[in-house]
Chain A
C-alpha cells in the first residue's frame, strides 16, 4: 500500500536550518510529482513547494522562496525539504503528498512538526 513517512522535524532556533525527509513506498515514486504542504497551529493548509517526477521542475510559495529548497532522490524514493533562515512563522506541521497527473493530492504523510523558537 502507498505510504509516505515524513521525518526530520523538531525544535530549531530562528535563523537556523532544518532538512525534512519524506520516504515513499508502495508505488513507483519516480512517476509522481511530489509536494510539501504545511499547517501552522490552528490555521489552514498552506502549499509550500512542488518538484516534478524527474526533479527538473520546482516551484515554491512566495513565503518560502529563496529560503527553502525541494529536492528528490528517486533511487532512495525520498523527497526532501531543506529549510534555511527559519522564522517563527515557519512553525507548522509539514506534510508531503503525491499528485497523480491531472488529479489532486491523493496520498499524504502523517506530518512532522517544526517549531521555530528561541
Chain B
C-alpha cells in the first residue's frame, strides 16, 4: 500500500503569512494527488486535484505543485478563514490513502 506522510503536523502562522505544507508518497503516484481543507465538525472540502489543478470556487491564494513522490500545498497571504486542518490524498491506486493531516493554527 502507498503511504502518505505530511509535514509539519502543526503549523503556527499569522494572517497575511505565506505557508507551505509538504506531502510525500512512499512510491511514485505521478500527479494523482488531492488536497483537502477540513474545519471542526464539517466534512472535508477539496481544494486541489491532480496535484496542481484548483477546484472550481477555491480562492487563487491556494496552489499545489509536485509530481512523483513529493508535493506541496501553498497558501499565499493567509486569511482568517484558512485556519483549519489540511490533508493530502493519493488516488494513484484504486485504494486511496490520506496523509495524517496538518493543523494550521493562529500564531
Complex Cα–Cα for A99 and B101 (A): 20
B101 & A105 in contact (Cβ 8 Å cutoff): no
Q: Is B24 an interface residue (CB 8 A)?
A: no
With A103-B50, A106-B55 as given contacts, are A47 and B44 in contact (CB-CB < 8 Å)? no
Chain A residues contacting B45 (CB-CB under 8 Å) are 108
Chain B residues contacting A103 (CB-CB under 8 Å) are 34, 46, 49-50, 53
With A103-B49, A105-B46, A108-B44 as given contacts, are A59 and B38 in contact (CB-CB < 8 Å)? no
Complex Cα–Cα for A37 and B46 (A): 14
A-B Cβ contacts below 8 A, count = 64
Task: Identify A99's interface contact among B43, B50, B87, B91, CB under 8 A.
Answer: B91
Q: Among residues 53 to 82 in chain A, which have CB atoms less than 8 Å away from a CB atom of chain B?
A: 57, 59-62
| Count, chain B residues at interface, CB 8 A | 26
Chain A residues contacting B44 (CB-CB under 8 Å) are 37, 45, 95, 105, 108
Q: Among residues 66 to 94 in chain B, which have CB atoms less than 8 Å away from a CB atom of chain A?
A: 85, 87, 89, 91, 94
A44 & B34 in contact (Cβ 8 Å cutoff): no
A95 & B50 in contact (Cβ 8 Å cutoff): no
Complex Cα–Cα for A104 and B48 (A): 8
Chain A residues contacting B17 (CB-CB under 8 Å) are none
Chain A residues contacting B53 (CB-CB under 8 Å) are 103
Q: Is A46 an interface residue (CB 8 A)?
A: yes
Complex Cα–Cα for A41 and B95 (A): 23
With A35-B96, A109-B43, A111-B43 as given contacts, are A104 and B91 in contact (CB-CB < 8 Å)? yes
B46 & A61 in contact (Cβ 8 Å cutoff): no
Chain A residues contacting B14 (CB-CB under 8 Å) are none
B95 & A61 in contact (Cβ 8 Å cutoff): yes
Q: Which residues of B contact A (CB under 8 A)?
A: 1, 34-36, 38, 43-46, 48-50, 53, 55, 85, 87, 89, 91, 94-101
Which 8 A-B pairs have CB atoms at the shortest separation, nearest pair first? A104-B34, A108-B43, A104-B49, A44-B101, A103-B49, A47-B96, A45-B98, A59-B95
